[in-house]
Each structure stands twice: as structure tokens, then as C-alpha cells.
Chain A
């Protein structure tokens, strides 16, 4: 019986010839990533709860400070220091203020076929490169850190057979929001979302990152795009080797197969406070906005910045709107500087922030107040996520967000 991509990756990590959905396996992890959301808690457990604390393989660990950088209070600073000192003491790869964790992982670490666990739900992003990335809590992280292994229950795979091409003015962001709207916020609970077909191969690496990143919002354990030459090209351009390009066997078992024609996807927004409350932008109604955000691990890369700059060029951000832009990494920021995009943003009256998670989760910068409305390229629109408990977050594409920032209300580009 054949295997899906996810099953093949698990089998490799478990060092067994074959795995089936529903089985539980011990797997050897290729990489473990932890950010400043929880690393300090992991470190506390490491010091306080273990009799003989020891790190299995420090080269597999990556610590990234991205959620609250720069620190907004001493408590955050304390958590950061704990992480910094631990990384220093144990010689662990450490990034502070260099970008959003998943972006850094994609830029510097992820290879096809790898099994990576991260103490962050959006670790599923790495499926864009044909890897199996999944989010875990800090206890699981601690276990992985000291043993180099973890256990997984092999998930069922749901296949999304994509055909066609996204039309002009429609983005991967619209595609994944539409898919989540279709399957529901728990529609792929504990499943692997596998994206394949000619439509998937038409997507750029950036588009695939957008797609996989939000898989968790449909409840999925991970999202994986069938890897191809584009993955090899990207990974090699970053100085890494692209081995283990797994594709699903002809006779692999899928719990369900969805057929999606990319030509039919339209620009959409997810309305507050549910990510699966997805409607075409025009149907959002007359929604006045107070803040707009372009950034996050979902949508803060050079392609989105280019798109925003193209829309903003020669225009001004609406005077009632705070438009915040956070490039996904320092590398993205530098490229945007080189291309003159940052100048366009600043000229238009946007605020360009250092690379961080910020507005996406209402942390150190750009929170919204009582009754305010935010349109965001972030990952979630849960109630209160971006600031005051009584505030409203709409999710849309970089194009929708930028056009809305200019209009002062939610509009399609």
C-alpha cells in the first residue's frame, strides 16, 4: 500500500519502511525551533523539572526572538535574557530581531523531507519546501530538546488537487482563506493538508509558504505542497541540499480529495472573529478601518512588499488609518531597501517597523484599541488577538490590506 508525502516523511524519521495513518511512532527530529513566546518556560522546566538535564544535539536547536522585539516591558526583557543566556551557554543557534521565526527557518534551515517541530502553531509553514513542520507545546519541545526525538500519531491526509492558475489580482492568501472557509476552522483537524496537482506546481515558493502557513487555521497538523524543481532551486540557492523530495504514491490513501480550480478563486476576507467566516471582499460591507497591517510569517515577504509598494506608489495612507508594515525578516527588509520599496512606504505615510510578529498577535507594537477595526495580513482574527478584547480583525491579502489602508475602509484593489 502506498504512502502520502507526510507518511513518507514520518517513515523516514521513524526509520521504518512504512507507516499508516493512526499509528504512533517515535521519530528522530531533524530540527527544533522555539521562539520567545514560550522558550523561557521550556528553560525553566529544563532547569527545574529534570534530574539530569542534557541537550541531545544542540545543532538541531534554533532559538528565535521575534514575538516581542523590541521588548515592551521588563517581564519580556527577562524572558529574552533567559533565552539569550541559555543559547549562549549551550551554543545554540540564536536570532534576535532578525525576523519572524518561520521566515528565518525557511531562509536558513528547512530542507525537503525533514521533520521539524516548532514551539509555534505556524510551524506548518515548512511544508512549502516539502518538509513536515508542526507546532508543539513547550513540554513536547523540552522532550525533543533532551532526547532529539518525539512521538507522532500518523495523521490522515486530505489531498487538495489544484488545477489552473490564480487570476491577476488574486493571491495565495485568498486561496488559503477560501479553502479554510470551505472546509471550516476544524475541517482538517489533526490531518495533513496535501496540496498537489498542476495548480500547486504553478504556485511560487512564496505562495506555497502562504498556503501552508495557514494550514493550522483549518486545524491541520501540517500542510505540505508536493515538492518540485522550484523547491530544489530555492533550497540550493540558499546553499542547502534538496534531497528527499517525497511525493505521494499512486496508491496512497487519502481520507478525502478536494478539487479546486484556482481560476475560480476570488479576493476574500475573513470576518471577525472567525477565520472561516470568509466572504468575497465586496460582501464585507462598508467597513471603516482604524489600522492596517502588512506583515507576519504569512504575508510579510518581498512579493507582498512589492505588491503593496506598487499599490501605494504616489498615494497616501488615509489620514484616519495607521498602516503598519513589518518585513518578515531582516533579509527581506534589506532587499526592500535595495528595491526602494521602503522609501515608497515611508513616502506614503506608512510606518515601517523592524521585523517582528507585532500586530499579528497584538504584542509590543501597533495594538488596536476598544471598538477599533484592523485589516491584516496576519494569521488570525480571534477576538481580542490584536489588542482590546472588543476590537475587530479582518484578514485579507496584501493587496486588499493596502488598498483598504488608502481608502480608509475595506475595499478590493
Chain B
């Protein structure tokens, strides 16, 4: 019998002769990512556990992003503890202000096709975009991996998602994942892996796939995988022939299959305050906005900035509406600068910030207050995430966001 992608990755990693859902296995971790919010806790637990050295310092990546630039004096403590940990344990892979952790993990080649990677952040599922099994864990578990290089996992069942056809111009991969989360529910893929295929997926850029993998956790998924193709190989700087074993077999067993026709998809938004409260933009059209945010590990990439720039070119953000743009990484910022997108966005009146998590994690970068409404391209609209519990957060695609910034209310791009 065949295997799903995640089963194949686990099988190869563990050397187990067979792998099937429900089985509990111990995997050898290829790479781990820790970010600034949790490094103090990881460091403390690591030493409390009695470890004196990292299992493999090359496999550990530390990224400061949630607290960059620091908005409170306590934030600095996290950097100091992180820096001390780097020195003490000889950590080489550290990024202090290069952008969001998930963007950097694939962009810098830390997470490659076929790898097993864990991170102290729920959106670690992102690296599934290159065919990597990656998932979020807590800091205690991270501390134990740092010492042992191992982690137990329950082999998950896989839900197969097939999308075929050509997406309408104003629909992007964000709309696909939002629609899927709406259909599955916020817990619809809990403990399970998602596997994406179909001609729409094949046509997609790695960046668009990243948006989908990134948000899979919002349906509860443990991982969200795409079979690598030539585009992936180029992006991840690997030989395609080395990763062409990563695909779901025809006769693999899936617990469920969900099928979409791309032509039938429409721009959607997640309405306050649940990620699975999905409505077509047409149904909430006209909702007046105070702010629009384009950024995050979900949608702060070059193609997202490009999409926004194309819509905003020669236009102005509506009066009394703020558009905040936060590129996902330093590299993306520079590419967007060279391509002229930043100039277009700035001319339209956007506020362009330093790359980082920014507003998405709710610590700074454009916090709102009671009764204010925002349309954002990030991954969560939980109660209180961007300010008070009376802020209304809508999630949508960069195209929807840019069009809405011009209109001052929620509208789909034309």
C-alpha cells in the first residue's frame, strides 16, 4: 500500500519499514527554529533539564522577529538572553532583524524538501510549501529537542485537498486556504496533515503555496504539504531528482478528500473573530474600515507587495484610513524596493515599516481600539489580537486588502 507525503517523510527519517496513521514514532529532527518571544523560556528549560550542550548547533536557528523593533523595555531582555545563549552554546544561525522567522526558514534554506523541522511557533507548518514536514511545538518540548535531537510524533492521518483549474484574477491562494478553513472548521484538521495537489497548485508559485501551508494550523493541522516540483527545487536550491520521491502515492490512504474547482472560487474574508467564519467579500462588501494591513508570514512576500502595488498604482489610500505595509523579510523589502513597489505604495500613502511580525502578533505596529475595523492579510483574527476585544478583524488576500484600502471599505479587487 502506498503512502501519503508525510508518511513517506517520517518513514525515511525513522527508517521504519512501514508507517501508518496512529503509530507513535520518534523522529530525528533536521532543524529547529526558536523565536525571540520564547528563547528565554527555552534557555531556562534547557538548563533545568540538565543539558550542557546542543545536540547539533548547526541545526538550531534563532530568529528575533516578534519584538523587532522593540516597543517595550522588557523586550530587550529577550534579545540579551538570546545573545547569551548564542555565545554559550556556539549557535551560528541567528537573525536579529532580518524578518519573520517562517519567511527566513525557507528563504535562507534552513527548511528543505523532505526535512522534519519543529519551531516554537504555531505557523511552523509554513515549510510544508517546499515539501517539508514542519510543525509548531512549545518551549519545553523545544528544550528537550535541543538536548536530544529527537521528538515523538503520532503519525497523522492525511486529508487530501485537490484544486483544479484556473483561479479568477481577483482570487489568490489566500482565498483558497480561507475557504478551506471555513469548510473544514477551525478544528477540522486537528492532529491531521493536509496534502495539496491539482493543476491549480501546480501552477502556483512557492510563495502562494507558503500562504496555504502557513494557515493550515488555523484548521488545526499538524502539517500542510505540497509535493516539490521544479519550482520548489529552484527555490530551495536542491536537485529535483533528490526530492522527487516526495509525493502522495496513488494508492495512499487519505481519511478525507476535498475537491475544489478554481474557477468557482471567489474572494473571501474571515469575519471577526473566528478564522473559520468565512464569507464571500460580496456579502460583507461596504463594511467601512479604519485600517488595512498587508504583511505577516502569511502574505508579506514579494508577490503580495506586487499585487498590492498593481492595485494602488496611481491611486491613494482613502482619507482617514491607514494602510500599513510590513514586508516579511529584509530580502523581500530590498526586492520590493528595487522593483519599485515600495515607491508606488509610499506614493499611495502607505506606511511602510521595518520587516518583522509587526501588527500580526499584536505587540505593536498598528494596534487598534474599541469599535475600529481592520482588514488584514495575516493569519489570525482572534478576539483582542490587534488591540482591545472590541476591535473587529477581517482577514483577506493582499488584492482584497489593497482594493479595500483605496475604497475605505471592504471590496474585492476588480
Contact = CB atoms under 8 A, between A and B. Distances in A.
Report if A and B touch in the complex (beta carbons < 8 A). yes
Interface of A: 69-78, 81, 84, 88, 94, 96-98, 319-320, 322, 324, 330, 333-334, 337-338, 342-343, 346-347, 349, 351-354, 358, 364-370, 372, 387-388
A72 B322 contact: no
Interface of B: 68-77, 79-80, 83, 96-97, 290, 319-320, 322, 324, 330, 333-334, 337-338, 342-343, 346-347, 349, 351-354, 358-359, 363-370, 372, 387-388
Nearest to B79: A369
B364 A351 contact: no
A76 B367 contact: yes
B84 to A, nearest CB: 12
B29 to A, nearest CB: 27
B369 A77 contact: yes
B346 A78 contact: no
Nearest to B333: A346
A352 B342 CA distance: 12
A353 B363 contact: no
Given A324-B69, A364-B71, A71 B334 contact: no
Given A333-B346, A337-B346, A88 B320 contact: yes
A94 B365 contact: no
B365 A70 contact: yes
Contacts of A334: 343, 346-347
Contacts of A96: 322
B368 A388 contact: no
B368 A71 contact: yes
A369 B76 contact: yes
B320 A94 contact: yes
A391 to B, nearest CB: 8
A349 B73 contact: no
B68 A351 contact: yes
Given A81-B369, A330-B346, A97 B320 contact: no
Nearest to A98: B349
Contacts of B73: 367-370, 387-388
B364 A347 contact: no
Given A322-B97, A353-B354, 11 more contacts: A72-B364, A73-B367, A74-B369, A77-B368, A88-B320, A351-B354, A352-B354, A354-B353, A365-B71, A367-B72, A367-B76
B104 to A, nearest CB: 14
A354 B359 contact: no
Q: Which 10 A-B pairs have the closest CB atoms?
A: A369-B76, A70-B366, A77-B369, A97-B351, A72-B364, A366-B69, A365-B69, A388-B73, A74-B369, A78-B369
A88 B75 CA distance: 36
Given A71-B368, A74-B388, A346-B333, A365 B70 contact: yes
Nearest to A358: B69
19 contacts: A70-B322, A70-B365, A74-B388, A319-B96, A330-B346, A330-B349, A337-B346, A346-B333, A347-B334, A353-B354, A365-B69, A365-B70, A365-B354, A366-B70, A367-B70, A367-B73, A367-B76, A369-B76, A388-B76
